[in-house]
Structure 1
Amino acid sequence: MQSTDHRFLIAPDPSLARLTRAVTGIDQSGAEVALSVVEERPLTIFLNSQEIVTAMTIGDYPEYLAIGFLRNQGMLRDGDTITAVDYDEDLDVVVVRTDRQTSYEEKVKKKTRTSGCAVGTVFGDMMEGLEGLTLPVAEVRTSWLYSLAAEINTTPSLYLEAGAIHGTVLCQRDRPLVYMEDVGRHNAVDKIAGWMLREKVPAGDKILYTTGRLTSEMVIKTALMGIPVLASRSGFTAWGVEIARQVGLTCIGRMRGKRFTCLSGAERLVWDMDPGSVPEEDRKHRRKSAKG
């Protein structure tokens, strides 16, 4: 899907019928209401002949999600050549094929031993990838942050339309490039990673913006992607901040209107805009953020 918004290379399209469903219910007064709610569907990812994981997703950009997931878990390595990416919409399956023979039986077994939850295994593997990691030096102008927040928060999206979803945006300076959404913030980040890998996009001059919390997982994935700056509307976790400081990631949260807080990498910030000249955020976006 190509973006219909000239400001983005890829932007959300909340009008796509398969992404949401109309559901009726009642409100606090007993009156009937109709809501647009986000669809979830399973997507099974294969690497060559091995089944790796089944993820719940909204179903857009499955190829980018599969490639990004495998890359962020270290299953696709630097130098690997992707020979094909096959998506079967009827089966909800993506097969990523490489010229290198792959086998991750131990990793899949470890995932099974944790009662089907891959979080512990995935987290440990990703932490190992941070050893010796050095992120590139990159300045961050506060004018870029204000411009990005204003533009992203007013872009038509499922986040504004239906809530219950996370958005992640790859940005360069004050321009948002690729805006991905999904029910899990990790999926949205993986889609970005997949697009960057597929399109051979450098990471050292980019900013990653998310609507979700700045957790350890978000910090680790951003660092492993080689992106030096991570920003969010939401808050931080202590472990996320600790890891960001360890790897030299600039971590900026609570970006609302003229306000933001930087808890890691503040030496990259360049204050080139007076916060007093920035308008307060529109109330409808604050309300949607609280609901989403």
Structure 2
Amino acid sequence: MEEIMTTRRKIKSYQDGKVTEIEDIVATEYPLTIRVNGNEFATMVCTPSHLEEMVIGFLASEGIIRIFERDVTSLYLDEDKGFAYIETTAEITPSIHDHTKRFIGSCCGKSRQSFYFQNDVRTAKSSMSKEKITFKQCINLMNALQSSSGTFHETGGVHNAAICTQEGIIVSRTDIGRHNALDKLYGHCLMNKIKVQDKILVFSGRISSEILMKAAKIGVGILLSKSAPTELALQAAEDLNITTAGFIRGNKMNVYTHPERII
């Protein structure tokens, strides 16, 4: 199936007391059901692009796979019907498949108690990154991410994310779902053996606790956002040794956790 990220629709537009009929561009939404080893695992509503990467990244973040070549024996997309069929060497146990159970425990040995999903405890990693970046480089990377997304400029209805070095973007992905955009990046890195421990994750959406945990699973040590963080996300970032910066707009930004990496 051709990747169709936008579609055109005739709408009525109201401005300054006048109603006109115009053609607008809207983001495409697509449901994809993932079946793992013959069993239905999850249905994701996404932008229909880079679907294989998204499936691999999602399953890696859920702890189903770790090494693409070793753990994935086959992957087939029936895009017309909206199914992804994946065979893995992993045994899918009820505890892995249950996305609703929370684990209560201290993160990284700290005394503060935090709530995490069970699979977060198994797959989230404390960052060991020694990477550093300047304030100016942070702003340049955010500007590069925003200017590179034609779909966002057309629709205003998608999230953008990129894996970067200090000098620029290595790979960027777009999706209506902020989690999906990160899963596509994660999948791309796994499928192409890109080491991310020394890389920077640049993201257009807010840093919620779930986004922070996704960044930890990917393995980056620096997370830059155009938007705001939440307090629970910042607590997790402190525990997992991840540098977070938000509100990167124009020539301004805020650094919230582990500021020693931003010089």
- One-letter amino acid matched to 1:158: T
- Measured in 1, the distance between the counterparts of 2:101 and 2:24 equals 32
Which residue does 1:223 correspond to in 2?
A: 216
Counterpart contact for 2:96–2:119, Cα < 8 Å: no
- One-letter amino acid matched to 2:129: P
- Measured in 1, the distance between the counterparts of 2:155 and 2:124 equals 39
Q: How many residues align?
A: 247
Q: Deviations over 1:62-107 (max 9, x none)?
A: 1000000000011113584322221112222112222x24223344
Which residue does 1:136 correspond to in 2?
A: 129
Counterpart contact for 1:129–1:224, Cα < 8 Å: no
- Measured in 1, the distance between the counterparts of 2:53 and 2:127 equals 26
Counterpart contact for 2:127–2:220, Cα < 8 Å: no
Counterpart contact for 1:145–1:174, Cα < 8 Å: no
- Measured in 1, the distance between the counterparts of 2:90 and 2:254 equals 45
Could you list the runs of 5+ residues in structure 2 that have no partner in the other structure? 104-115
Among the aligned pairs, what percent are the same residue? 25
Counterpart contact for 1:173–1:207, Cα < 8 Å: yes
Counterpart contact for 1:213–1:236, Cα < 8 Å: yes
Structure richer in strand, relative to its length: 2
* Aligned CA-pair RMSD: 2.3
Counterpart contact for 1:47–1:102, Cα < 8 Å: no
In structure 2, relative to structure 1, the CA distance for the partners of 1:260 and 1:162 (3 Å cut) is same
In the TM superposition, residue 119 of structure 1 has moved relative to its aligned partner by 9.4
Could you list the runs of 5+ residues in structure 1 that have no partner in the other structure? 1-15, 112-117, 271-292
In structure 2, relative to structure 1, the CA distance for the partners of 1:95 and 1:132 (3 Å cut) is closer
Counterpart contact for 2:124–2:214, Cα < 8 Å: no
Which residue does 1:63 correspond to in 2?
A: 52
Which of 74, 77, 92 is the aligned partner of 1:84?
A: 74
- Measured in 2, the distance between the counterparts of 1:132 and 1:162 equals 35
Which residue does 1:18 correspond to in 2?
A: 4
- One-letter amino acid matched to 1:77: R
Detail structure 1 runs of 4+ shifted over 4 Å in the superposition: 118-121
In the TM superposition, residue 143 of structure 1 has moved relative to its aligned partner by 2.9
Which residue does 1:279 correspond to in 2?
A: none
In the TM superposition, residue 254 of structure 1 has moved relative to its aligned partner by 0.3
Question: What SS does the aligned partner of 2:84 have?
Answer: strand
In the TM superposition, residue 25 of structure 1 has moved relative to its aligned partner by 1.8
In the TM superposition, residue 178 of structure 1 has moved relative to its aligned partner by 1.0
- Measured in 2, the distance between the counterparts of 1:222 and 1:18 equals 27
Which residue does 2:183 correspond to in 1?
A: 190
- Measured in 2, the distance between the counterparts of 1:145 and 1:17 equals 31
Q: Deviations over 1:219-239 (max 9, x none)?
A: 111111110010011111111
Counterpart contact for 1:169–1:180, Cα < 8 Å: yes
Which residue does 1:27 correspond to in 2?
A: 13
- Measured in 1, the distance between the counterparts of 2:125 and 2:204 equals 29
Question: What SS does the aligned partner of 2:55 have?
Answer: helix
Counterpart contact for 2:145–2:161, Cα < 8 Å: no
In structure 2, relative to structure 1, the CA distance for the partners of 1:229 and 1:258 (3 Å cut) is same
